[in-house]
Amino acid sequence: MSGITLTDLTKVYDSGAESVVAVEDLSLSIEDGEFLVLVGPSGCGKSTTLRCIAGLEDVTEGSIQFGEQTVTDYSASERDIAMVFQNYALYPHMTVRQNIGFGLKLSTSLPSAEIDQKVDAVAGMLGITELLDDKPKELSGGQQQRVALGRAIVREPSAFLMDEPLSNLDAKLRAEMRTELQELQANLGVTTIYVTHDQTEAMAMGDRIAVMNGGVLQQVGPPEDLYRHPVNEFVADFIGSPSINLLDATVQSGTLSGPGGFTYTLDDSGSIEGYERVRVGVRPEDITLVDDGENTAIVNVVEPMGNENFCYMELGDVEITARVLPSHRPAAGDAVPFSFPEEAVYLFDPDTGEALKTKTDEATDVAISA
């Protein structure tokens, strides 16, 4: 087992006239035994990064280390890692037992009895013992994914690389498998890099999350750090569901003015000194609908979630969302006053997106309120 270190990793795809910089100057260290989630929108370079680590793509520049060992030029088979993909690619004519044991049979000289023992142990761990004699077509999607995992685990690799492994499963099963995978990874203690475009999955699973955009690493940290202290507007917007509310504002003597007559006076405007314009961010759960709110928005629609309501409102030409108690259900067209505490306000440079102020640590994890 070992950690993984990427240093200035760059991957350019050259296809004749066009070249695409898929990953640019990526430096990232994954600790031994850590579960790191690589997340970002489609096309941001996640899979390419994973494929470079696996040895399935040559890197254009930079280096990859497993522990102390530089493996940049090693072939995939020399790297001792196991990949799990979205499509399970099980061999249809083989039983579950044969599918799980096949890699060991090919790559080791272990006797069949020993391979069987290992397969039994892994199948037990994954709760698929009773399926060992079945063929893949007899299995559900979730069971097939377990077999694919079993195939990876049985090889006892020094790292798992997982590329959207759960995205073919329905929502409920996906949530269950997330938990299972996390428990399994924690028990095995194998360094794991998990790629997803789904920020909810990233938040739920990662010890740390690395957010990428346009081939460039934006930020890496524990989920709650990224949520509360994003380095820029991209990360703030990408992490969190429903998304953070964002609006343009002008600044005058510490007072922010924005769309729909929005106005907010900061007690402490030190972070935006010299700025005439800023981007203002407020998370939906930090907005409270209160009679004496400083601002007013017009309700578009309220989505009841059971344990809370999402209240979508218009503030001039911007749509904002508030997460409110289920008992709070204003009607479409209502003008509702709202408020939010200064501790919860995010401010961003309007040109670079850089965060100038994030939630202060005193900002409580605001319980969803009125």
Q: Which two tokens stand for residue 323?
A: 């997460």
Q: Which two tokens stand for residue 283?
A: 């998370």
Nearer to ligand ADP, 43 or 341 (CB): 43
Nearer to ligand ADP, 21 or 175 (CB): 21
The H or E element containing residue 156 is: none
Minimum distance from CB of 46 to ligand ADP (Å)?
4
Residue 273 to residue 357: CA distance in whole angstroms: 12
Minimum distance from CB of 50 to ligand ADP (Å)?
8
Between CA 19 and CA 85, with CA 235 as vertex, the angle to 5 degrees is 60
Nearer to ligand ADP, 86 or 369 (CB): 86
Contacts of 76 (CB under 8 A, 6+ apart): 54, 55, 56
Task: Note the maximum CA span of the chain.
Answer: 78
Strands 159-163 and 81-84: parallel
Nearer to ligand ADP, 85 or 338 (CB): 85
Q: Which residues bind ligand ADP (CB under 6 A)?
A: 13, 15, 20, 22, 40, 42-48
Nearer to ligand ADP, 35 or 85 (CB): 85
Nearer to ligand ADP, 81 or 100 (CB): 81
Minimum distance from CB of 64 to ligand ADP (Å)?
16
Minimum distance from CB of 100 to ligand ADP (Å)?
27
Q: Peptide bond preceding 242: is omega within 30 degrees of 0, i.e. cis? A: yes
Sign, Cα dihedral of 123, 127, 128, 130: positive
Minimum distance from CB of 47 to ligand ADP (Å)?
3
Residue 98 to residue 76: CA distance in whole angstroms: 23
Residue 60 to residue 65: CA distance in whole angstroms: 15
Minimum distance from CB of 341 to ligand ADP (Å)?
36
Minimum distance from CB of 239 to ligand ADP (Å)?
16
Nearer to ligand ADP, 48 or 269 (CB): 48
Contacts of 316 (CB under 8 A, 6+ apart): 258, 259, 260, 261, 262
What is the chain's Cα-based Rg? 24
Beta partners for 294? none
